[in-house]
């Protein structure tokens, strides 16, 4: 048993150091050269980037050229606006699921690199004072072993010379998995789930929330609400991926 534990321990260290150096993190194909995105050309080509026809509020890909999706028209958003890099499908979905459910913490550096690449254009003219991750409950963090949002946030912030801080916002109650719920259920599920532990760190500051994926935006909006209650000046959201807008969301 002791030998197995030692083997598992060193296996995790080796995975962190070597597993992604020479192979695509999605399909495992051998890379001809190192890539800051960890993807082979074929997998990278399958990424659908979020650029045009986005909702100006939540930043998700729209079904048409309207300025705002129906969800943002019909529901109050407490953040100024949100932006993301890729549509949560195919390769992007594999990456998110890999870090979130597969224990592949090293994916964070590649996800952060996409955020770094898009940051200047997505937040042009915005002065961010502090970067915070979407927090996990204590139980979920213990089960997962790490908070993937923090792993992404700290790498991103370091690369763009911003200050990142974990523990400013904490999750104070366990909630159901948001992905399994409809629009209204998501809002009710996440209500009063977060608390600002260090209000002095956010007062009169512009805050950037970092997460792996945005679905309807309920979680980010609730975190923005408690940040503003703690006197944050502005709150923005930046995620690696986001889902396409779905017409049925407001009535779910």
pLDDT in tens, 69-94: 999 998 899 999 999 999 999 999 99
Alpha carbons 111 and 151: distance in angstroms, whole number: 10
What pLDDT, on a 0 to 100 scale, did the predictor assign at position 19? 53
- What's the distance, CA 210 to chain centroid? 5
What phi and psi values does residue 81 have, to the nearest 5 degrees? Answer: -165, 165
Cα separation, 176 vs 114, whole angstroms: 29
* Average pLDDT of the residues of the chain: 87
How much is the pLDDT for 155?
98
Q: How confident is the model at residue 14 (pLDDT cuts 50, 70, 90)?
A: very low
DSSP 20-69: TTSB-TTT-PBPSS--TT---HHHHHT--B--SSB-TTT-PBPSSS-SS-
- Which pLDDT does position 177 carry in this prediction? 60
Model confidence band, residue 192 (pLDDT cutoffs 50, 70, 90) = confident
Percent of the chain residues topping a pLDDT of 70: 84
- Mean pLDDT score, 220-247: 95
pLDDT of residue 129: 98
Residue 11: band (very low, low, confident or very high) from pLDDT cuts 50, 70, 90? very low
Domains defined for the chain, CATH in brackets: 1-45 (no CATH), 47-251 (3.40.50.2020)
Cβ-Cβ contacts under 8 Å for 97 (sequence gap 6 or more): none
Q: Which of 20-24, 50-54, 101-105, 212-216 has the lowest mean pLDDT?
A: 20-24
pTM of the predicted model, to two decimals?
0.87
pLDDT classification of 166: cutoffs 50, 70, 90:
very high
Alpha helices in the chain (DSSP H): 2-18, 41-45, 70-74, 90-101, 107-122, 138-144, 148-159, 183-190, 199-202, 218-229
Residue 2 banded pLDDT, cuts 50, 70, 90: low
Q: Reply yes or no on whether the pLDDT at 34 is more than 90.
A: no
pLDDT of residue 173: 82
Contact (Cβ atoms closer than 8 angstroms) between residue 168 and residue 132: yes
The more confident residue out of 15 and 244 is 244
Percent of the chain, pLDDT > 90? 71
Q: Which two tokens stand for residue 25?
A: 């993190």
Contact 114, 240 (CB under 8 A): yes
pLDDT given for residue 251 in this prediction: 37
Strands 234-242 and 82-87 come out as: parallel
Residue 121 has pLDDT above 90, yes or no: yes
How many Å separate Cα 138 from the centre of its chain?
18
């Amino acid at each position: 048993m002791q030998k197995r534990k030692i083997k598992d321990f060193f296996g995790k260290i080796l995975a962190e150091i070597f597993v992604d150096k020479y192979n695509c993190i999605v399909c495992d194909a051998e890379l001809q050269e190192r890539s800051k995105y960890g993807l082979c050309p074929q997998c990278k080509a399958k990424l659908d980037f979020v650029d045009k026809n986005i909702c100006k509020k939540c930043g998700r890909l729209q079904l048409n050229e309207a300025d705002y999706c129906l969800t943002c028209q019909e529901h109050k958003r407490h953040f100024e606006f949100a932006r993301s890099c890729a549509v949560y499908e195919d390769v992007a979905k594999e990456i998110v699921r890999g870090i979130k459910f597969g224990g592949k913490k090293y994916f964070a550096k590649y996800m952060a690199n996409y955020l770094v690449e898009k940051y200047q254009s997505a937040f042009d003219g915005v002065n961010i004072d502090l970067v915070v991750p979407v927090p996990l409950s204590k139980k979920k963090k213990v089960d997962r072993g790490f908070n993937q949002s923090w792993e992404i946030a700290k790498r991103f912030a370091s690369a763009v010379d911003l200050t990142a801080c974990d523990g400013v916002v904490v999750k104070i109650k366990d909630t159901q998995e948001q992905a399994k719920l409809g629009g209204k259920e998501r809002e009710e599920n996440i209500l009063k789930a977060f608390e600002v532990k260090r209000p002095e760190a956010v007062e009169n500051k512009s805050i950037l929330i970092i997460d792996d994926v945005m679905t309807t935006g309920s979680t980010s909006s609730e975190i923005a609400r408690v940040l503003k209650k703690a006197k944050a000046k502005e709150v923005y959201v930046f995620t690696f991926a986001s889902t396409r807008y779905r017409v049925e969301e407001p009535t779910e």
